[in-house]
Amino acid sequence: MAENKQSACVTCQPAGLCGGKGLLTLKDGAWRNNPLAIQVLGICSALAVTSRLENSLVMGAALIFVCVGSNLIVSLLRKRTPHRIRMIAEVAIIATFVIFFDQFLKAFYWDMSKQLGPYVGLIITNCIVMGRAEAFALQNPPIVSMVDGLANGIGYAVVLAIIGFFRELLGTGEIFGHQVLSSQWYTPNQLMILAPGAFFALGIVIGIFNALKGPEPQEKK
């Protein structure tokens, strides 16, 4: 609960004040309020696509692209969007960017598109994208909203890359498909490329992030 309160007070600041806080927004999204490791949002795709580092990176790139784009457009249209249909408008905007990225993958990186399967399309329902549009872009000017989208996208991508790195390394002994740990002395830990391995890896990453971040500062009154 404290987490929600804090994120609310950071994101709901008056638009004017946020202008000079681009860097702070960046740090907030990527680290202090990391969408995956601290807020534990969007873990479905984080568990599903991280069995290889390459897939994790592409997925992270997709989220950065969608998050930046949708935050920009939502923010540009924020004064023209009727309040009652804002959710539908946000989904339409997000879906546009997701479909764009999906088609791009299909056109130029067909193998990767096949490997990621439905998970690129499912970014439409990713809580992080929708959450940033709803909580940040609706109240803030376009440039800061883009920075916020970028920050949260990076936060997601970094965690995904960490999990993907360790799952591929420990699970197969490879990185980007190249043998790193020699099979002469390393026995691949097959649990890591199975679903339970993703849960363990994500749980450990969340634990480390929270430990590094330290306890939640007490609210001063």
Partner 1 sequence: MKWLLKIVEAVRPTFEEGGKLRTFKPIFEALEHFLFSPSTRTLGAPHVRDPMDLKRFMSMAIISVVPCAFAALYFFGWRFLAMVVVSYAAGLTVEAAFAIVRKEGINEGFFVTGILFPLIMPPNLPLWMVGLGVAFGVLIGKELFGGTGRNVFNPALVGRCFLALAYPKAMSQSYIEPSGDLLGCLLFKWLPSGSGVDAVTVATPLSAAKGGVMASTSHMLLGSISGSAGETSAILIILGGVFLLFTRVANWRTVVSILGSFIILTAALIASGATKVGIDGLCGPVVWHLFAGGLLFGAFFMATDPVTSPTTNPGKWIYGMIIGTVTVLIRNFTGYVEGVTFAILLGNIIAPILDEAIIEVRIRRLRSEG
Q: Which is nearer to partner 1, 93 or 169 (CB)?
A: 169
Shortest Cβ distance from residue 108 to partner 1 (Å)? Answer: 36
Between CA 193 and CA 215 the distance in angstroms is 32
- Contact criterion met (CB below 8 Å) for 149 and 68: yes
Query: Toward partner 1, which CB reaches closer, 8 or 195?
Result: 195
Residue 47 or residue 191: which is nearer to partner 1 going by CB? 191
User: Least distance from C-beta 197 to partner 1, angstroms?
Assistant: 8
In sign, the C-alpha dihedral spanning 131, 122, 105, 57 is positive
Place of tokens 């990225």: 101
Restricted to residues 178-197, the positions that interact with partner 1 (CB under 8 A) are: 187, 189-192, 194, 196
Instruction: Measure the CA angle with vertex 83, ends 39 and 149; round to 5°.
Output: 35
Nearer to partner 1, 182 or 187 (CB): 187
| Cα 98 to Cα 67: distance, rounded to the nearest angstrom | 10
> Is residue 208 a contact residue for partner 1 (CB under 8 A)?
no
Binding site for partner 1 (CB under 8 A): 187, 189-192, 194, 196, 200
